[in-house]
Structure 1
Amino acid sequence: MADIDTAPERARERVGSSEEQPAAWSATNGGGAEGITRRLGIVQLDAIDAAVRATEGRETTTITRADFGAPEITALMDAARYDIIQGRGAVLLSGIDISRYSVDQFARIHFGLGAHLGRAAEQSERHDRIGYVRKEPNPEKRGYLSDTELGPHTDYHGILSLASVVTSEEGGVSGFVSAAAVYDVIRRERPDLLEALEEGYYYPTGLDSVTDYKVPTFSVIDGHIGVYAYVLFIVRAAMIRGEPVPAKFVEALRFFNTVARRPELMASFTMQPGEIAYWHNFRVLHSRTSFRNTPGRERLLLRLWLHPRDHFPLAKGFYEISDILDQQHAQGFSMVGNTEELLRGAYELMRG
Structure 2
Amino acid sequence: MSATAMPAAGSPTARTPLAGPAAWYGAELDRSGAWIRTLDDAQRREIDAALAHVKRQGFSPLGFGRADFPLHSTADLLAAIAAELEDGRGMVRLRGVPVDRYSEDDLRTIFWGLGRHLGTAVYQNATGEIMGEVRDETRLAQQSFTPVEAGKVASSRARSRSTGPLRWHTDRCDVIALMCVSNAQAGGVSKLASIVTIYNEILRRRPDLLELLCQDYWRARPADEDGLSPDKVFAMPVFGLRDGRITSQYSRTYVEQAQEVAGVPRLTAAQNEALDMLAAVAEEVCLHSPFVPGDIQLLNNHVVYHGRTAYEDNTTTHQERLLLRLWLAVPNSRRLPEGFETLWGSAAPGALRGGVVQPGTGSRVPVETASA
Instruction: Report if TM-score (shorter chain) is over 0.5.
Output: yes
Contact 2:53 2:69 in 1 (8 A): no
Instruction: Find the counterpart in structure 1 of residue 133 from structure 2.
Output: 132
Of all paired residues, the percent bearing the same amino acid is: 31
Structure that is richer in helix per residue: 1
Q: Is the 8 A contact 1:166 1:298 kept in 2?
A: yes
Q: Tell me the distance in 1 between the aligned counterparts of 2:252 and 2:123.
A: 21
Aligned to 1:27: 26
Quick one: structure 1 residues 211 and 291, their matched pair in 2 at CA, closer, same or farther if it must change by over 3 Å? Answer: closer
What's the CA shift for 1:31?
4.1
- How many Å apart are 1:206 and its aligned residue? 6.4
| Corresponding residue for residue 160 of structure 2 | 144
Give 1:328 deviation, angstroms.
4.5
Q: Structure 2: how far apart are the matches of 1:161 and 1:112? A: 12
- Partner residue, 2:204: 188
Change in Cα spacing, 1:158 to 1:54, as seen in structure 2 (3 Å) is same
Q: 1:48 to 1:250 in 2, by over 3 A?
A: same
Q: Distance in 2 between matches of 1:177 and 1:287?
A: 9
Query: Compared with structure 1, are the counterparts of its residues 9 and 107 closer, same or farther at alpha carbon in structure 2 (3 Å cutoff)?
Result: farther
Q: What does the per-residue CA deviation read over 1:155-204, in whole Å, with 9 as the maximum and x for residues that have no partner?
A: 21111011000101100100111100111110111111011000031334
For 2:253, the aligned partner's letter is L
State the distance in 1 between where 2:241 and 2:344 align. Answer: 19
The residue aligned with 2:122 is 121
Q: TM-score, normalised by structure 2?
A: 0.80
1:33, 1:143 → 2: CA distance?
A: 32
Alpha-carbon distance change, 14 to 198 in structure 1, aligned in 2, over 3 angstroms: closer
Deviation of 1:309 after TM superposition, in Å, equals 1.6
Q: How does 1:1-352 map to 2 (within 5 A)?
A: 5-9=6-10, 15-17=16-18, 20-31=19-30, 34-56=33-55, 57-137=58-138, 138-140=145-147, 142-205=158-221, 209-210=231-232, 214-240=235-261, 241-262=263-284, 265-294=285-314, 295=316, 296-323=318-345, 326-328=356-358, 330=360
- Which string of whole-angstrom CA distances, capped at 9 and with x for unpartnered residues, describes residues 42-69 of structure 1? 2211111111111125222212111233
Q: Mark the CA change 1:304 to 1:46 in structure 2 (over 3 Å): closer, same or farther.
A: same
Partner AA of 1:85 in structure 2: E
The Cα of 1:268 is off from its aligned counterpart by: 1.0
Q: How many residues align?
A: 326
- Greater shift, 223-232 or 147-156, is seen at 223-232
Distance 1:316 1:32 in 2: 38
Give the AA of the match of 1:279: L
Structure 2: distance between partners of 1:171 and 1:124:
26
Matched to 2:252, the amino acid is V
Pairwise CA RMSD: 2.6
SS in 1 for 2:214: helix
How far apart are 1:226 and its partner, in Å?
1.5
**Contact preservation (8 Å) 2:221, 2:231:** yes
C-alpha deviation, 1:205, in angstroms: 4.9
Question: Does the Cα contact within 8 Å between 1:40 and 1:94 map onto a contact in 2?
Answer: yes
Amino acid at match of 2:304: V
C-alpha deviations, 1:88-116, integer Å up to 9, x for none? 00111111111111111111111111112
Q: Does the CA contact (< 8 Å) of 1:5 and 1:11 recur in 2?
A: no
C-alpha offsets along residues 300-342 of structure 1, whole Å, 9 cap, x if unaligned? 110011122222132245454244862246579xxxxxxxxxx
User: So what's the TM-score if we normalise by structure 1?
Assistant: 0.85
Question: Which structure 1 residue ranges, 5 or more long, are not aligned?
Answer: 333-352
Amino acid at match of 2:25: S
What SS class does the counterpart of residue 168 from structure 1 fall into? coil
Q: Which amino acid aligns with 2:120?
A: R
Going from structure 1 to structure 2, the CA distance change for 1:230 and 1:249 (only over 3 Å counts) comes to same
Q: Which amino acid aligns with 2:146?
A: P
Structure 2 counterpart of 1:79, which letter? Answer: A
In the alignment, the residues of structure 2 paired with residue 330 and residue 26 of structure 1 have an alpha-carbon distance, to the nearest angstrom, of: 43
